[in-house]
Amino acid sequence: MSAGVVLAPVSDPIAAAVRWREQVGADPDGAVRAAEHWLAHAGDRELRVLARHICALAAVERGRSAEARQHVRLALSAARCARLGERAAQVLLTSAWIELNRGDPDTAWRQLAEASEQLTGLDAVRAECLRGVLLCHQDLLAEAEVALSAALPRLLEHRDHQWAANAYVARGLAHLYRNGLDAAESDLAVAEQLFGADGRDGRAALCRHNRGCVALRAGDLPRALRLFDEARAAGVDPDEHPEVRIDRAEALAEAGLHEQARGELHRAADRLRRLGREARLGDTWLTLAGCALRAGAPEAAIGPARRAARLFRSQRRRSWAALAVATECQARLRAGQVSRYSLAAAKRAGHACAAHGWTTAAAELWLAAGREATRLGRRVTARTLLELAATGRGQVPGSTRQLAVGWLGEALLAADAGDDGRLFDSCRRGLRAVESYASGIAAWEPRIEAFGLAEELGGVAIGAALRSEDPRLVLRWVERYRLGSAHRRAVRPPDDPELGSALVRLRSAVSGATAADGSRLRTALSEIGVLERQVRDRALLVAGGSAGEAQVAGVDEVLSALGDDVLLSLFAHDGELHAVSVVDGRPRLHDLGAEATAVLETQRLRYLLARQAESGDGRVGAVYAGGAAEAAAAVQRQLLAPVLAALPPGRRLVVVPTGPLHAVPWAALPACRGRGVTVAPSLRTWLRGRADAGLDRSPGEPVWVSGPGLEHAEREVAALHAAGGGRLLSGIDARAERVLDAVDGARIAHIAAHGRFRDDQPLLSCLDLADGPLYGYDLDRLRRGPRTVVLSACEAGRSVVGRAGQLTGLAATLLGRGTATVIASVVPVPDERTADVMLALHSLLRGGAPPAEALATAQATYGESGFLCLGYGG
């Protein structure tokens, strides 16, 4: 029995049953036990009706609609047989609520009307409250607000906190759907307090979840994810309330985690079917369609959106039907199903969507239709649609996505009018909105997805800059486009003990799996998969943000900092590769041919180098070496042609790559052997590293770390420690937390260990230490990255290139934490030569050589080419 629930004396079982009926939400298990006792032993018909009603309400609390309907049917039958009109009406009120949740509003309205004829007093006020809830579910939001606002004072007067809380929830959702986000947050917060005070912790937690939906609608993804997580921790069971999975899936899709989102949605759909609530599948289908659109698979979005629209219409959920139709229209347009009819349909669907408060979806649809109309040469239609899309840039509240879409529409209108000044101003404003939003996100994956909103804005601006043939203007806009997650000063560290604990458990599980076999290995691998998901989920919740505003690198600032160095800034536009070179202070613009050709040759070069490293120095290795030399020459012809003549021996090169070209092993190119080459994600990163490299750090001693199972590692770090002093962590001392503590803010950190790169989840790329893997998520917990980091591990320099050129991986994480220079490999390197290369590298660094030049000399001396100098190498 729940604390605080006072039962009537045994001599008055009817009063006791009424009390239990009112307290079902606080203690559904205790209420059901009492009801089952009466059903088994009581002969009083009214008591049996109340007992069935209690069982129905408990099933509602647990989300079991089919079970609740069965109890309601039996209760109604018993009440009518006994001519208990008031009790029957009370049961009908509950039945109407159940039918509403099942998605059958017609039956709900009919039962509410029948019940209202016999209800008086407080029950009549509850019926008016339910009427408001029904109006809300059918998108008659203004009428719903009036009905609920009228019922609330009377519910509070009767001290009926349970139904008052229901009214606040419904009114809060009405405010939400009308974009009254502050009012929605206020009503849901009051409802949460009322449910909590009444002992209905589960309902209070659902209010917390709904507040997460408000945050998501407002574009505050980090807060939405945290509120969803808090609601689950407070007792919201996704198996009893599958709708919460749908909301969380929408947030995961917003964060770019499309596979995780789809997994949540399939689990929600399966559970809804098991609970007999198939009518709520429309929400699942609609979110699945949205996921497919965001993932760039419009064909996969068409069917789910169409099914959702059909179901919403049958339920008279007009607002949601409008959103589903708009989603289907956008999917068809993006899948190439474009005609005069489809453009007109998109315009109408956008207006219907906006009328119901889905302003961002309307703007996205109009933008997609406007771009297709432009492609077809229908300029008048295109201008009309783009003008509609552009209206979203000034609306308040407006999500960042809506602002980005609005400014992109304005930029495309300016492009059509030939007004480059207006175009650049629109792109600048849109990018500023995206940067402001992304600067408040600490978690890597949502931050990268947020910067992805800048992708099309940057593309439009770069296209206009290319048409101007002004290399300074092109370089300025390419850099603004690259202004992303790894390019600003260190983000405040995500100090989350739960994330740290999850990483420790994952490390332990991976370490334990190495000794397992057979069924134990299968169990261990399954556990590792679960723990990886827990780490990834927890990492989404970290709080923090940018430590300062990121600024675009000024061209004059770059020219001054380069000195005698040569710059090659690569970028792609419409499938073509371009470059801006700077030689002796003079920028030039170059066309480098098809991007796909450079990518293919780079992949071929990396493959051949990897096979050469694995095969050794025999005849097979010589064959691979010959093929690698041919591929390197091909890459050089395409990428270095603009600056080759300006690269006499000894002149350093700074490269800012694009896309997959971040993995070019530059030292393998003939013109780069022995030459200091620095590879930077952006010029801002390079300039920031240049400034940071001169800062004094404490502690100043270097840190040398070796991981297990790598033949050369302990010999390598022992020799480095003997030559350079500092702190040595090897054997059992090289444990993850100890290593993180030692390298945090250090002057130089050198880690020799086995490395594994994860294309699927780059922040789960790792370095093997004594107690298991050190992950990218671990490195993201550093307060300040070491000034210089050397990762003597295979492919530790690789990154996944996401939307808008954003990088994710071990090296990118370190740069994001403030490390100036990272030296790491992008191809496998033979273990037997790595130690010699590293000893030579550090000897040169101690002698005062800049990192890029030291690496170039060391690699040339021992015939290696797999390591890159990333960030700042001067």
Residue at which a domain ends, from 486, 520, 535: 535
CATH number at residue 141: 1.25.40.10
How confident is the model at residue 178, as a pLDDT? 87
Residue at which a domain ends, from 199, 225, 252: 199
pLDDT band at 559 (very low <50, low <70, confident <90, very high): confident
Residue at which a domain ends, from 136, 164, 199: 199
Query: Is 718 a member of any domain?
Result: yes
- Tell me the residue type at 490: A
Q: Which of 471-485, 535-549, 641-655 has the lowest average pLDDT?
A: 535-549
pLDDT band at 364 (very low <50, low <70, confident <90, very high): very high
For every residue of 99-125, which 3-state class applies, written as one string? HHHHCCHHHHHHHHHHHHCCCCHHHHH
Query: Is 605 a member of any domain?
Result: no
Mean pLDDT of 373-396: 87
pLDDT band at 394 (very low <50, low <70, confident <90, very high): low
CATH number at residue 732: 3.40.50.1460
How confident is the model at residue 484, as a pLDDT? 54
How confident is the model at residue 264, as a pLDDT? 93
The crossing angle, in degrees rounded to 10, of helices 258-274 and 243-254 is 170
The fraction of the chain above a pLDDT of 70, given in percent, is 94
At 581 the three-state DSSP class reads strand
567 or 832: which leads in pLDDT: 567
pLDDT tens-place string over residues 286-308: 999 999 998 889 999 999 999 99
Structural tokens at position 838: 């590293």
At 414 the three-state DSSP class reads helix
How confident is the model at residue 610, as a pLDDT? 87
Query: Is 140 a member of any domain?
Result: yes
What's the gap between Cα 183 and its chain centre?
27
pLDDT at 546 over 70: no
pLDDT tens-place string over residues 142-177: 999 999 999 999 999 998 888 999 999 999 999 998
pLDDT tens-place string over residues 768-785: 999 999 999 999 888 888
Structural tokens at position 323: 């959103």
pLDDT tens-place string over residues 676-735: 999 999 898 898 888 877 665 555 789 999 999 887 888 899 999 999 999 999 999 999
Structural domain that includes position 528: 497-535
493 or 200: which leads in pLDDT: 200
pLDDT tens-place string over residues 222-243: 889 999 999 999 989 998 889 9
Query: Is 437 a member of any domain?
Result: no
pTM for the structure as a whole: 0.83
* Bridge pairing between strands 677-679 and 867-871: parallel
* Whole-number average pLDDT of the chain: 88
Calpha distance 514→496 (Å, rounded): 28
Query: Is 779 a member of any domain?
Result: yes
State the DSSP string of 496-527. Answer: -HHHHHHHHHHHHHHHHHTT--HHHHHHHHHH
pLDDT at 8 over 50: no
Domain count, the chain: 3
Calpha distance 367→387 (Å, rounded): 9
Query: Is 724 a member of any domain?
Result: yes
pLDDT at 4 over 70: no
Q: Which of 48-57, 687-696, 753-762 has the lowest average pLDDT?
A: 687-696
Q: How far is CA 728 from CA 589, 742, 752, 773, in A?
A: 48, 10, 12, 19
706, HSE (Cβ side, Cα atoms, 13 Å): 20
Query: Is 415 a member of any domain?
Result: no
How confident is the model at residue 43, as a pLDDT? 82
Query: Is 580 a member of any domain?
Result: no
Mean pLDDT of 206-212: 96
Which residues are CB-neighbours of 220 under 8 A, at least 6 positions away?
A: none
